Structure 1
Amino acid sequence: MSNTIEVKVPDIGDFSEVEVIEVLVAPGDTVAAEQSLITVESDKASMEIPSSHAGVVKSVMVKVGDKVKQGSVIVQLEAADAKEAGAAKPQAAQPPARQAAAPAVPPAAAEPAEADTRPESGGKPVTVTVPDIGGATDVEVIEIMVAVGDTVAAEQSLITVESDKASMEVPSSHAGVVTAVKVKLGDKVNQGSDIIELRSTGAAPAKAEPAQAKPAAAEPAQRAEPAAAPAVAAASEPPEAAPSSGGAPLASTPPERHSPTEAFAETDVPLRNLPHASPSVRKFARELGVNLASVRGSGAKNRITQDDVRQFVKQALAAGPGPAATMTAEGGGLNVLAWPKVDFAKFGEVEAKPLSRIKKISGANLHRNWVMIPHVTNNDQADITELEALRQALNKENEKSGIKVTMLAFLIKAVVAALKKYPEFNASLDGDNLVYKHYYHIGFAADTPNGLVVPVIRDADKKGIFELAKETAELAKLARDGKLSPSQMQGGCFSISSLGGIGGTDFTPIINAPEVAILGVSRSTHAPVWNGKKFVPRLMLPLSLSYDHRVIDGAAAARFNAYLGALLADFRRIAL
């Protein structure tokens, strides 16, 4: 089979017998080079293994629960042509280099060997930084496992970080009492970034193990396993607690491995049952806004799967707004009928097409927002007769500039003025607190071939009409081309969804959480308006303002919409 390629597990930091926790492809699938095939997990990191070649999967050689190591065959591929198959051997060396960086845990675990060479005495302040993480940069902090006042042991995990391929825990290089936490969830960190400050209680116990770690810096998980077993056996918890820790980020696990039961007893570190899930499941949960700490895992060692996340979301949506937002996996909900299963093909010809990635993500977010937020919509109309005349005059005067002023630019400017007058619309709920923002970043819905996305105009209050028109046009083009970066869709305070170029009289736009309001704009039409003496034709623009009734009451929404209409009717009011 000259055109058959065996894709093998590359160099994964000398780990042995890592467990397959997800199989991401099936026979018949077409895969691209660098596409993830399986997810494996050691005791400190889960990572996805990519394909070294493109082709069609002939057979999958592993299953969930299998133990694999470097050189284990994952899949057999039918290469696109014999030339690609012939290139299998030299190319097989490339993924190992890539994956050597993915399980960034080995260097992290070995870091104490170097860190502990610094002289210190009891009570000395120490800053713990991110060690070598295999060349990965700007990895995101997805969990913080300690707080100010906690006592930590050397090798105890402090934070969990995640790249696009692996999540990993970063341990402490010293023992002591935490005096400051220097990172927060969502931060991007690199090698050398400060994690915590602590008051050292002495690092003598921590120095013994790193001495062994230095010649085998890439084997922390392998060395840890023998010590972990007595730790679990000696713990006062029932035996069932052992599987629940597995490879999960338990704050107590590293100190137990370092000094099985004594370290835990002496430092009194709290046992924190943090969620046990692979990087792809964590990403899936974040896209749906699910807190994995509330999800019960059904996989091996209580691992959380994508099906567990889906089931949790179904329960939360069925439970309705309010309490559902903090509902745990054990909670109940409304008794709703199951989604109907229908064989559509028996009624006629059908064609199934997968949803685009944008629609899958935005659909889940919209569903959550609709169910969790008590929406109310206020409908009003704005007389834009003079504003439309001004817009046309500006475009005629600036034909040569290439910038076309749209009604959206005027809407953004008017919305900013309204947000300044009614600041509760420029806020977000954070638990029992209402966070008022002193910046004005305005999002606008952009229609693309793959679905709606919401680019954000930053600091709209500092920009003029022409600058707003130019930036909205540029962002809309990037959206249509699929080139918007995540940063260009973040930080919005208020959103505008305009259907003016398509049609409709009014609609109920869905609030883009964590915002508390959104403006829907429909197509303007000429209508007879009574001016006190007679009916005259005026160009009227429908405004549909949806608002979060937990934050905004009906009277405030009516005032906001009326004020916005007044600004659009006489744009000179913007200067007041």
Structure 2
Amino acid sequence: MATEIEELVPDIGDFSGVEVIEVLVSEGDSVQKEDSLVTLESDKATMEIPAAHAGVVKSVKVKVGDTIGEGDLLLTLEVDQEQEQAGVDPAVAPEAPRAEVADVPEVARAPSAPTVDTAGAPAVERLPGDKVQRHPPVRQAESDLPRGVPHASPSIRSFARELGVDLALVTGTGRKGRITRPDVQNYIKQVLQGDRSTPTAATAAALPAVPEIDFSQFGEVDIQPLNRIKRISGKHLTACWLNIPHVTQFDEADITGLEAFRQEQKAEAAAQDIKLTFMPFLMKACVACLQAMPVFNSSLSPDQQQLIYKRFYHIGVAVDTPDGLVVPVIRDVERKSIFELAADLAEVSARARQGKLTPADLQGGCFSISSLGGIGGTGFTPIVNAPEVAILGVSRAAMKPVWNGRKFKPRLMLPLSLSYDHRVIDGAQAARFTQMLATLLADIRRLLL
């Protein structure tokens, strides 16, 4: 005997008002447990909601463009009662959805102004899963500006604050005049095109427009759409670069002894099915520096008038995946051993490359590390992953002759590149940080002191 079951949105972390960008089933479809029902896109991740039950779709309650949250009704399923009695519990919520990307950390998700169709330009065909761009009307007179409290969610208010946008100047195109993310983005686009005279952070930047060039006039071209990870992370990186006054401190660390010690421990790690890389040692050394210099473990308040000092040490580690860069967060680094960190890194890196990270994997970072040592290079300028205030880049270690006061000796030197937010950290603090880090890496036993 069949019974009708409601499929609800499960726990999706600190997300509310998440937009539906794809509905993957329709009425009459048969679905199995864990089959994807809809795709949601938040500020930081795209996630698929799996079915908690197997059955036949009776009715779909959401459509593309809807915004939903935990507990909202997605659809109803006709489920075979005998299967339910055999062990399928209708009250069991589905697993946390899998996320394709991360960008980054909670506060810093301010994208750059998006590309929108200009007047007279042909409409670009929307790819599956892409958001529909809305174009609010451009008001020409101050008398046309809305009054009262703007109708917007907390995440949109935070987004607007980061870009310096007064929501009172933005026309909402959502339900009942609600201001959406595309509304804020389109407002910034109009400001940069000269359609607004109201001074904001966007106008203060006075960014010149990049000229549009038809490259086909020079030869054959092939146009490929950016994947979703690159689109979302690109917006975040642009916002970080435009909003943070970056400075990068370069230094070197002698890791000759540490590398010898790591090689000695590889066999013991392998016996526990652990691949021992250099990264866990670097993470522990960074946490020691963060504990000694708490300003590097802080974030600016939304009004930029206070510093928020964090008493936890979660480190984001950039992972190169086939679809682009993601930054999963390893939590409580100060409490874990080198082998525990190595195991955590291997597990989260594997899930990142398989596209199986959850939103929780991408949140709560205090400090980020980007390592290009496995590829090459002698230095680079990593972009601070706001709302963090610093990020460490490491390049490939190389043997160099180092003067010890009597003679030159070959030493394995690791290039360090520390980018930081100059509003929070000054140059002397950055130099002390890299010097302390180099000292710890030169003799890892100092971590025990």
* Same fold, judged at TM 0.5 (above): yes
Confirm or deny: 8 A CA contact 2:165 2:200 kept in the other structure. Answer: no
- Give the secondary structure class of the aligned counterpart of 2:405: coil
What is the aligned partner in structure 1 of residue 24 from structure 2?
33
SS in 2 for 1:341: coil
Indicate whether 1:348 and 2:222 are aligned. no
The residue number in structure 2 matching 1:72 is: none
1:198-247 CA deviation, whole Å, 9 max, x = no partner?
A: xxxxxxxxxxxxxxxxxxxxxxxxxxxxxxxxxxxxxxxxx989xx79xx
Contact 2:284 2:334 in 1 (8 A): yes
CA RMSD of aligned residues (A): 4.0
TM-score (norm 2): 0.65
Counterpart secondary structure, 1:508 = coil
**1:51-107 deviation line (CA, Å, top 9, x unaligned):** 6599xxxxxxxxxxxxxxxxxxxxxxxxxxxxxxxxxxx9884214x67xx8999xx
CA change 1:467–1:311 in 2 (3 A) is same
- CA distance in 2 between counterparts of 1:519 and 1:134 reads 41
The reply to whether residue 517 of structure 1 matches residue 390 of structure 2 is yes
Q: Tell me the equivalent position of 1:235.
A: none
Q: How does 1:208-287 map to 2 (within 5 A)?
A: 271-275=148-152
Deviation at 1:272, TM superposition (A): 2.5
CA distance in 1, matches of 2:67, 2:231: 29
Q: C-alpha displacement at 1:459, in angstroms?
A: 0.5
1:422 and 1:554, CA in 2 relative to 1: closer, same or farther beyond 3 A?
same
**Residue 238 of structure 2: aligned partner:** 367
Residues 316 and 333, structure 1, Cα contact 8 Å, conserved in 2: no
What is the rounded CA distance, in whole Å, between the counterparts of 1:366 and 1:472 in structure 2? Answer: 23
**Counterpart AA for 1:422:** M
Query: 8 Å contact 1:448–1:479 — kept in the other structure?
Result: yes
Q: Report the AA paired with residue 273 of structure 2.
A: G
Q: Which structure has the larger Rg?
A: 1
Richer in helix (by share) = 1
SS in structure 2 of the partner of residue 382 of structure 1 = strand
2:251 touches 2:417 (CA, 8 Å); kept in 1? Answer: yes
Whole-angstrom distance in 2 between the partners of 1:547 and 1:558: 11
1:438 aligns with 2:311: yes
**Alignment correspondent of 1:358:** 229
TM-score (norm 1): 0.51
**How many pairs were matched up?**
332
Match among 37, 50, 59 for residue 94 of structure 1:
59
Please state if 1:496 is matched with 2:369: yes
Partner of 1:192: none
Cα distance between partner residues in 2 of 1:53 and 1:445: 43
The alpha-carbon deviation at position 308 of structure 1 amounts to: 3.9
What amino acid is aligned across from residue 24 of structure 2 in structure 1? A
| Same amino acid, percent of matched pairs | 50
Unaligned runs of 5+ in 1: 1-23, 26-30, 35-50, 55-89, 106-131, 137-163, 165-184, 187-238, 246-270, 320-325
CA contact (8 A) 2:398 2:412 kept: yes
> Which of 450, 458, 461 does residue 334 from structure 2 map onto?
461
- 1:549 to 2:426 alignment: no
Alpha-carbon deviations, 1:157-183, whole Å to 9, x = none?
xxxxxxx9xxxxxxxxxxxxxxxxxxx
Relative contact order higher in (CA < 8 Å, ≥ 6 apart): 2
Distance 1:53 1:283, change over 3 A: farther
Unaligned residue ranges in structure 2 (runs of 5+): 1-19, 30-54, 75-96, 98-105, 108-142
Secondary structure in 1 aligned to 2:204?
Answer: coil
| Conserved 8 A contact 2:150-2:179 | no
Once residues 168 and 370 of structure 2 are traced to their aligned partners in structure 1, the CA distance between those partners, rounded to angstroms, is: 33
Structure 1's 455 and 313: CA in aligned 2 closer, same or farther, altered over 3 A?
farther
Q: Does 1:574 align with 2:447?
A: yes
Q: Deviations over 1:146-167 (max 9, x none)?
A: xxxxxxxxxxxxxxxxxx9xxx
Relative to structure 1, is the Cα distance of residues 315 and 369 closer, same or farther in structure 2, using a 3 angstrom cutoff? farther
Deviation string 1:121-167 (CA, Å, 9 cap, x unpaired) is: xxxxxxxxxxx97558xxxxxxxxxxxxxxxxxxxxxxxxxxx9xxx
- Alpha-carbon offset, residue 290 of structure 1: 8.1
Secondary structure of the 1:358 match is helix
Query: What amino acid does structure 2 have at the position aligned with 1:529?
Result: V
Find the counterpart in structure 1 of residue 167 from structure 2.
Answer: 293
Change (3 A) 1:362 1:474: same
Go from structure 1 to structure 2 and tell me whether the alpha carbon gap of 1:314 and 1:549 turns closer, same or farther (over 3 Å shift).
Answer: farther
What SS class does the counterpart of residue 287 from structure 2 fall into?
A: helix
Q: Which residue of 2 aligns with 1:84?
A: none
CA contact (8 A) 1:295 1:308 kept: no
Aligned CA distance change for structure 1 residues 240 and 540 (closer, same or farther; 3 Å): closer
Match of 2:402 among 517, 529, 533: 529
Q: Deviations over 1:391-430 (max 9, x none)?
A: 1110023332210111110000000000111111011110
Q: Which residue does the alignment assign to 2:379?
A: 506
In structure 2, the residue matched to 1:339 is: 210
Say if 1:441 and 1:458, in contact at 8 Å, map to a contact too. Answer: yes
- Taking the aligned partners of 1:421 and 1:436, their CA distance within structure 2 comes to 13
